[in-house]
Chain A
Amino acid sequence: MARFIARRLALAVGTLFVLSFLMYGLLEFALDPLVDLRENPAPNRQELIDNRIRLLNLDVPWYQRYFLWLGNFLTGDFGIAWRTMQPVATLVRGAIATSVQLVFAATIISILLGVTIGLVSALRQYTSFDYAITFVSFLLYSLPIFWVAVLLKQFLAIGANDYLQSPTVNWPLVVILSIVSGLFWAGALGGKRAKRIQVFVGAFVVTLAVFAGALLTGWVNNPTIGIVGIGVLSVALALGVSALFAGMNNKRALYAALTTAVLGTVLWWPLQWLFFYVEMNWLWIIGLLALSLALAALIGWLFGGPDRQISIRGAMITALFTSVLIFVDRVLQTWVPYNNAPQIRGRPLATIGASTPGLNADFWMAQLDRATHIMLPTLALVLISFATYVRYQRGAMLEVLNQDYIRTARAKGLSERVVIVRHALRNALMPLASIVPVDFITLIGGAVITETIFGWAGMGRLFITSMDGQEVDPVMFYIILTGGLAMIANLVADFLYAVIDPRIRVNA
């Protein structure tokens, strides 16, 4: 195994070296640092040109310059962005953080959503639901992201802000959304016609009621969850998780999840005091989350039984969800002061940038500010990348469902839930191991187009502005970073796959 990794690493370093050399040559041809001076009418034009040539070592041939650059790069000097004379290292630090923030949420959401819908689509193969999902994923796949992004800005953000300022409910839209939701759930849950009609009506009524309630009571103008909301949602999730992963017959798992949900809801009250008296930061939040997960694991362990792991897992998922709810609830409590802040003036959904400049915000309000800024670009990214996961997961699940051991599992009389969740799902998720690491590590490279449109100063935007500004050093840093990370990601993916799939053997 060590030899395998060493060999792959050596290969990666070699590839990266060749890549950087070739890209440097291409960039030498593609970028022209003297472009603005060539048409400069200033009398001292030649002097300016000479200065720049000296600054950028343009008088030596490019392959020599490449080795100069490589020497500096290896010793930790990444060069300068010569237009602003800022060192690349400082430019990049903020850009990486911004990109990760932006793409992290989008990647997680699109994986979760895409994988779930792909799975359901595979389970309902050749139904109208499956066809509809296939069509939608093709449509999303064909959308140009810059077009979607501008549309989202124009309609969603501005429309929502206008609505918040002068609420007039658009009833046809609400009814259409409710019908879509009804059709979605009826298709996803499937079954016989009578059941589908029941599900459709149920989902339609619930969606309509939720929309109407939120819009008519003015909830959208002052969104809160509150202890009641947390309690209801947590218990619902606890029931759902137990039904899906443990089965309602497993009383111990059910009680473990329910206990966790109730305990989490009760803990809301003391936590409000903690949040009030102690200045929060991310360390605290992560610590609290870890604590709640440990507590949930303990609860699951105590309920125990012969299949202890299931109880623990169910309780931990519930705890995670409840913790997130409590966090969101606290963030939403800053909605009114945030909305009334002079920089916001009642138009909370932001279309540009990563945060509101000059906003005097505490920890919680800063999170809210971040959320309102990240919403649109995340939505745009999810819409685009979601389709890939749906297609991928649908294919993987169908492949597994056609295997012999699934038939065996059914033949020996296991319930459909056990066949799908315990036999099919695990193997269908395995191929994800080869794409998720790649998606996560490469997200540091940012989303070039999305960042440009939404004005996020991330890595992708840095790349584009440096290309525009004819600056070689930041572009080269970007190339080395994304190239190196992609190689590491592929290595991790191969390694992971070898670990979880016993059929694959690593031979050095």
Chain B
Amino acid sequence: MSNDRFQNNEPDDADRLEQALPDGPQADREIGVDANDAGEAASARTGEATADAYGRGEGVGEGQEVQGLSQGQIVWSRFIRHRGAIFGLVTLGLVILLSVLSMGIGPIPGLWRVQEITSGDVIDGGRPTLSVPGIGGATGFAIGANPFGQDSLGRDYFAQVMLGVQTSLLVAFILGIVALLIGVTVGSAAGFYRGKVDMALMRFTDLIITLPVIVLGAVLGALVSRVPLRIGAGPELTASIRENMPVMLAVALGCILWTGLARLVRSEFLTLREREFVDSARVAGASDWRIITKHMLPNAIGVIVVNGTLLMSAAVTLEAALSFVNFGIGPPNISLGYLISDNQGAFSTRPWLFWWPGLFIILIALSINFIGDGLRDAFDPRTKKIPSARAMAKAEKQLVASRGAASAQSNGATAVQSNGATAVQSKEDAS
């Protein structure tokens, strides 16, 4: 039973390869095809074929070269080919556009008719007026007065959710920046100076990493909400502090989420500082600051960008969870977690109050995660873009055709060649 299972696990293109190369010597085909993931084997064997296959790098059959391109260009060209990342980028962009266009940003008013959240009459039980053909038996597309419905006080829910989206994104962004700053500073100092500095900074990191994030977050959330009282602020100052609660919370949470990033940057720096270009910079008389910022940080940018992105997606769910247990954002501010927490009792009567904020949390977190994944693949030099099955077939046909035309090489070499192209796909990050 499972013998079959493990013996027959050639990649899907196995039969296709056989069709394309009916005469290829069995032995050559075996290595590339059977060695599912260690497909490097095939490419490592023949230098020329390897170079050719690697040069094709990105999209086999398109002949894309990476030579002579800057890191930014290579990363960008890889990134925009990552379907998940583009999906994430577009989704996130649409969500931001929707929330900004509808509710405005800061003092600039938006286009949606409800700009002030006020209670009013509950129409039709507060049911959402949004109708999309095919869902719930609706015949035409209509937005209506309250596309996401109304809550029990008759407040427009679309406006609330859009404000919540803005708050969540703001928190995620500020938190990401703060965590990035602290993490990169601590990590690079520890990795660059090593010794006592490293020891002290890493013990400090251990201190923060010991407690679960949600616990520290709850304590900091309670602390932030207590600030006006503790500094004995007057009513006006209190009101303005309360207005800016999300920013303060984001900064506070940023102060605890940097630890993972600091560790990664540190280990990256520990290897980078042994490299020759750092030595030559030092011999040339560069200061520590210059070496760190101009020579080493650009080499660690991949780790930093990827983790900064993933931090932001963690921030969205963390903020929502904290607001849910009342240690995050509360009135007068609106966040997605607060909306869910506020309305969870109404699930059986007004389920839409529960659906919309959750949907937007997932959309935001998922798209940021996909962007992070795309960035990781784009920055990792070991990663090669995986062409779709159709692109692979096309590439193989082209290869066979070109080889057939040249007819200088034997069929065996063709098999290796095309296996080399197959092998490219197996080099993914092992993270």
Contact = CB atoms under 8 A, between A and B. Distances in A.
B3 A19 contact: no
A103 B271 CA distance: 39
Contacts of B9: 123-124, 190-191, 416
Contacts of A426: none
A249 to B, nearest CB: 9
Contacts of B430: 395-396, 398-399, 402
Interface in A445-463: 445, 448-449, 452, 463
Interface string A425-468: 00000000000000000100100110010000000000110011
A417 interface: yes
Nearest to A22: B207
Given A240-B2, A395-B431, A467-B218, A143 B362 contact: yes
Interface in A156-185: none
A463 B3 contact: no
B210 A19 contact: yes
B218 A463 contact: yes
Contact of B366 (A138, A147, A195, A452): A138
A18 interface: yes
A21 to B, nearest CB: 10
Given A144-B358, A467-B219, A468-B326, A445 B212 contact: yes
Contacts of A486: 210-211
A419 B229 CA distance: 65
A13 interface: no
A190 to B, nearest CB: 5
B220 interface: yes
A401 interface: yes
Contacts of B347: 150, 154
The 9 closest A-B pairs by CB, nearest first: A142-B365, A399-B430, A30-B223, A191-B8, A416-B6, A30-B222, A147-B358, A142-B366, A417-B6
Interface in B364-397: 365-366, 369-370, 373, 386
Interface stretch (B29-37, B71-79, B147-155, B236-244): B29-37
Interface in A390-406: 395-396, 398-399, 401-402, 406
B369 A398 contact: no
A15 interface: yes
A487 B209 CA distance: 10
B352 interface: no
Contacts of B220: 26, 30
Contact of A449 (B6, B324, B365): B324
Nearest to A158: B348
B405 interface: no
Contacts of A146: 320-321, 324, 337, 340-341, 344
B7 A243 contact: no
A420 B14 contact: no
> Chain A: interface secondary structure?
helix
A31 to B, nearest CB: 7
Contacts of B40: 402
Contacts of B14: 192
Interface in A119-136: 122-127, 135
A487 to B, nearest CB: 6
A195 B211 CA distance: 50
B325 A448 contact: yes
Interface string B1-32: 11111111111101100000000000000000
Given A142-B362, A467-B327, A482 B211 contact: yes
Interface in A12-43: 15-16, 18-19, 22-23, 26-27, 29-32
28 contacts: A15-B206, A18-B207, A19-B207, A30-B220, A31-B226, A138-B369, A139-B362, A144-B317, A144-B320, A146-B340, A150-B344, A191-B8, A191-B9, A192-B14, A193-B12, A195-B4, A244-B2, A395-B431, A396-B430, A398-B428, A401-B37, A410-B35, A417-B3, A417-B7, A448-B214, A452-B325, A478-B215, A486-B211
Contacts of A32: 226, 229
Contact of B428 (A125, A192, A468): A125
Contacts of A507: none
A316 B2 CA distance: 20
A464 B3 CA distance: 51
A191 B8 CA distance: 5
Given A138-B366, A139-B366, A410-B35, A147 B340 contact: yes
A417 B40 CA distance: 21
A494 to B, nearest CB: 13
A244 B4 CA distance: 10
A239 interface: yes
A240 B139 CA distance: 52
B210 A483 contact: yes
B425 interface: yes
B158 interface: no
A407 interface: yes
A126 B428 CA distance: 9
Contacts of A26: 219-220, 223
B38 A402 contact: yes
Nearest to B358: A147
Interface in B412-431: 425-431
A479 interface: yes
A442 B340 contact: no
B370 A125 contact: no
Residue from B9, B212, B226, B324 whose CB has the most chain A CB atoms within 10 Å: B212
A407 B2 contact: no
Contacts of A415: 3, 6-7
Contacts of B366: 138-139, 142
B226 A30 contact: yes
Contacts of A243: 1-3
A225 interface: no
B107 to A, nearest CB: 31
B290 interface: no
B1 A240 contact: yes
B249 to A, nearest CB: 13
Given A146-B324, A417-B7, A448-B215, A141 B369 contact: yes
A247 interface: yes
Nearest to A463: B215
B171 to A, nearest CB: 14
Contact of A138 (B37, B344, B373): B373
Interface string B127-168: 000000000000000000000000000000000000000000
A29 B325 contact: no
A215 interface: no
A127 B425 CA distance: 11
Contacts of B12: 127, 190, 193
B313 interface: yes
A154 B344 CA distance: 11
A195 B386 CA distance: 25
